[in-house]
Amino acid sequence: MTRVEDGGEDVVGWGERQAAWAAADAPSVARSIFLALHAAGVREAFGVIGGGIAPLAAGLANTPIRFYHFRHEAGAGFSAIESWFATGRPAVVAVTTGPGLFNVLNAAMAARVDGAKLLVVSGFTSRAQQGRGAVQETSAASMPVDLTRAGSIFHDVFVPESEEELAGAVGRIVRGLAAPGGYVAHLGLPLSLQGKLLPTPRPLGAAWRFDPPAPTRGAVDACLDALRDPGAAIWVGHGALAARDELLRFAEAAHLPVITSPRAKGLFPESHPLFIGVSGAGGGTGVHQWFRTRRPRHVLVVGTRLGEVTSFLAPGLAPSERWTHVDIDPAAFGAAYPEVPGRGIVADAAQFFAALHARADETGWYARREPSALPERHTEPPLPPRSRGDVRPSYLLQAIQARIVDATDALVMSEAGNSFTWCNARLRFDQPGRYRTSAAWGSMGHFTTGCVGAALASGRRVVAVVGDGAMLMNNEINTAAQYGARVLWIVLNDAQLGLNHHGMLALGMRPLETQMPRTDFVAFARSQGADGLAVTGELELDAALDRALAHDGPFVLDVRIDPTVPSPILAARTRSLESQTRKGGA
């Protein structure tokens, strides 16, 4: 600690008045780090400032990177994730020592599972102070190992104590942010290094570009040979979102039907005649019917691990002979269906579909393939509004489809729980990148907060369909009000944890602690500086959505939904859990 004079008396503090590292043009280590990150494409940073990162915050403030101060580190982390998915720019979340770092770990794990580009920068206790009773000590001795070394949460962890160590760390981080696939790193910085001034300007990190491996002629020919199966299909996931045009061109020319994972909704137009359906959580019966009636020998899988949310790990969704699996991560091959053989191809999705098209066109493959007839598409008639009672979730989603998905370019997000399943099942997208949800991790509070980061980074309207339980668990309405984020929260207010409640009933249990007092989210929103409106019946819904969309700023639509209607995936999810329980006990 340093003593500084204040009114003639010494005051204990961590810095000094007019600290050199706080000057706008100071060549501080902290400022140099963020200038290097800006050169690597970072434009936004999110976080919660604390004493352990004060010099870091000063350095960040003196760079072109825009910093948004949040109310909780988890909300800042989820917002950083969604800013990446909304813009394609890597994001930073800055947190202080101890609790600050612990609070952001849920978001860091979500980033790892979802394949985001995220750098967590935190304060850290210097080696000289470790074990001496430092406040909020953050060190290898006091923290779980995955916070201080690469492992299940972070791809890389760096805790430099010198300029030389820092230069190597930032160089690795810059390369990780540029490489294909997700990258989540942790940079821990002691105060002694954060505020250090560099005697001469020194670049930290250098720009890198990575070219993914191109598919070989042999791999392309083998895939085309397998896809001559009349029952073959293409199953695409979130990792193929950038391949929309190439996928559409090849699938149409080959007359190959397409399945998408929940996170890939819109990658292939859901109104297209070749679209079979969304698989897994929230999907309809179309995918299961295709596998049951067409009995495909081969399926081409691109950009998905086919995990539980995508497939429910159902044996009936596997080809009878083999997979062809394309991904930039070879660990995806055979992960969900280890008993089914296949061919793994490490390649970029867009390059692979382009190579398939070029080779098929060159060899006359399109003319030789004999596709099977497509199943007849069934369209449900629109629901008329009922004049009494709570809003049915299906009617709410019908209104969201008409007034938001079809009539605007807003980004739409669905929170874990009933919101996720209803949106997956009922919303239809014809463009990729307009829908976001977290599948494998699925933390409550991800999208009640992440929507703010997406709106701030992209400048677009973001609509978050969330449950009342998630909204109470974590929200950043106050942050959205401070920065004028164009976020519309549509809260499914049924005064219960709906997915838990109906899930327990489906499993033959008596629901346990699933009910809670009803919250007035309009009053809550207004208390935070936002606006809101309550909807208590279906006849009010259209006008309420129009008013909410016309509001230029954060808005909460509190929709009282029918608590008796179960999630559309509940039966399939229950069967999946029961099957896994039986296997686990075998």
Residue range 92-139, pLDDT digits in tens: 999 999 999 999 999 999 999 999 999 999 998 877 777 676 767 777
Asked if residue 387 has pLDDT above 70, the reply is yes
Same domain, 320 and 357: yes
Structure confidence at residue 5 as a pLDDT band (50, 70, 90): very low
Question: Is residue 265 assigned to a domain?
Answer: yes
Structure confidence at residue 3 as a pLDDT band (50, 70, 90): very low
477 versus 16: the higher-pLDDT residue is 477
Structure confidence at residue 202 as a pLDDT band (50, 70, 90): low
Report the distance separating Cα 441 and Cα 238, nearest Å. Answer: 14
Question: Is residue 211 assigned to a domain?
Answer: no
Question: Is residue 199 assigned to a domain?
Answer: no
Question: Is residue 499 assigned to a domain?
Answer: yes
Q: How many residues does the chain have?
A: 586
User: Across residues 196-222, what is the average pLDDT?
Assistant: 85
Same domain, 15 and 47: yes
What total number of domains does the chain contain? 3
pLDDT value at residue 410 = 98
pLDDT value at residue 440 = 76
Question: Please, what is the end-to-end C-alpha distance for the chain in angstroms?
Answer: 60
Same domain, 400 and 454: yes
pLDDT value at residue 208 = 84
Same domain, 338 and 402: no
Cα-Cα-Cα-Cα torsion 47, 52, 58, 64, nearest 10 degrees, comes to -30
317 versus 372: the higher-pLDDT residue is 317
Q: What is the overall mean pLDDT for the chain?
A: 89
Asked if residue 11 has pLDDT above 50, the reply is no
Least confident piece of the model among 434-438, 492-496, 526-530: 492-496
pLDDT tens figures, 400-455: 999 999 999 999 999 988 888 899 989 999 999 999 998 778 899 999 999 999 99
pLDDT tens figures, 245-262: 999 999 999 999 999 999
pTM of the full structure: 0.91
Same domain, 223 and 268: yes
Same domain, 113 and 183: yes
User: Across residues 488-502, what is the average pLDDT?
Assistant: 80
Q: Domain limits at 161? A: 2-194
Same domain, 64 and 135: yes
CATH number, domain of 25, equals: 3.40.50.970
In sequence order, which residues have a C-beta less than 8 Å from that of residue 230 and are 6 or more positions away? 294, 370, 371, 372
Asked if residue 231 has pLDDT above 50, the reply is yes
Question: Is residue 109 assigned to a domain?
Answer: yes
Q: At what angle do helices 29-39 and 54-61 cross, to 10 degrees?
A: 50
pLDDT value at residue 203 = 67
Out of 368, 384, 411, a domain closes at 368
User: Across residues 214-224, what is the average pLDDT?
Assistant: 96
Q: Give me Rg for the CA atoms of the chain.
A: 26
For strand 462-467 and strand 435-436, is the pairing parallel, antiparallel, or unpaired? unpaired
Same domain, 467 and 553: yes
Which amino acid, one-letter code, is at 456? L
